[in-house]
Structure 1
Amino acid sequence: MEAVGLLVGHEDASNVQVLQCELAIVPSQYVNAWNTSVQRFLVDYVYRRVPACQRAARQLCTFLFSAYWHGIHAGYYLFFGGIAAMIAMEQLVGAPAARRVRTLGWAPAGGMRAFICNVACSAWTMCCFTWFGQAFHLKHTRDIQDMWERFHYVGFAVYLAPIPVALAIVAASSRMGSSPNTHVGVAPPKVASKAN
């Protein structure tokens, strides 16, 4: 079976949920569907054992451990660091922007705008995985830099693309005077008055 340009043997097919990888909308969905037995090991023995700190720091430690596990090549660290950065971008921009979009009534559940948003997010996820994935395959710093130069470092622009989009959404919702915690069509809760 061939998936994403990699050969996956039949014994490994149950470890990789190919359809979920291909249909992933955000990076965390892709990561959760890839190499599931190793993911479980990393959660149990690395992520949960990192001393109490922010989620992003625990994820970064886990990805760095995974890079070390693969070997001592710069490409592995660039790849797993890129995945950590993608998931951080998802958490930083994704949830607040989605909340604002719902607030503005731009993306009702199942609507065409929601579909377009999901396609755009999926394209962003796949483009970023392809960009950082080249580092994993090429391994050596000079080869990675040559490849990135040939593409004029456009992958980094794609990676940063959600930031101006999220800022535009926040600005639009601010102009309309809505707060991120209100939802269109939902009446504010009534405050019970005390009877004297």
Structure 2
Amino acid sequence: MTTAGTTPTPRRARTRYDERMYALMNRREAPGLYATVGRRRAVVVVHILLTVASLAAVFSALATATVWLSFLPLVLVLPWCMATAVINAATRGLLELRTRVLDERQLAERDRVRALAHRLTTYVLLCAAAGGIVVGELGGLTAGGAVLPVLISAFVVHWLMPLWVAGMTAQDEPADERDE
């Protein structure tokens, strides 16, 4: 509703890219992979484990100069991408689509997911800092050698936490939407 002399703020039109991404994120070829809460959470756990395994392989390869460990992330990237695709399909692209493509409910859900992910990342970083202090004090170790792996891990957690939270908190679709 507008008053005389004012016009509503126009919402930017969807582009072909927006339409293509919306169609891609809303494909329903394999709903069995994410149809239930348990399956969605299992995919998120697998995604987390693949991420941790990749990071551990890279850090171990750098620390021990073991060449074969540096190739493990290349082997894990395909299942990692597949798990990412399943999470994106389960959330219907909540974090991947542009704002202009999402409706008000989806925008509120995205804001809620990002806020929760931010809080969880803060707790992870707090625990990492406390753990580093404890290990340093009790073990007499210096933190210099662990700074780069910790910073990289913190970046990865910060980057992926919204995806993990969205996958863990995604609600089941109403029965009428699944039947169509």
User: What's the TM-score once normalised by structure 2's chain length?
Assistant: 0.32
Higher helix share: 2
User: What's the TM-score once normalised by structure 1's chain length?
Assistant: 0.30
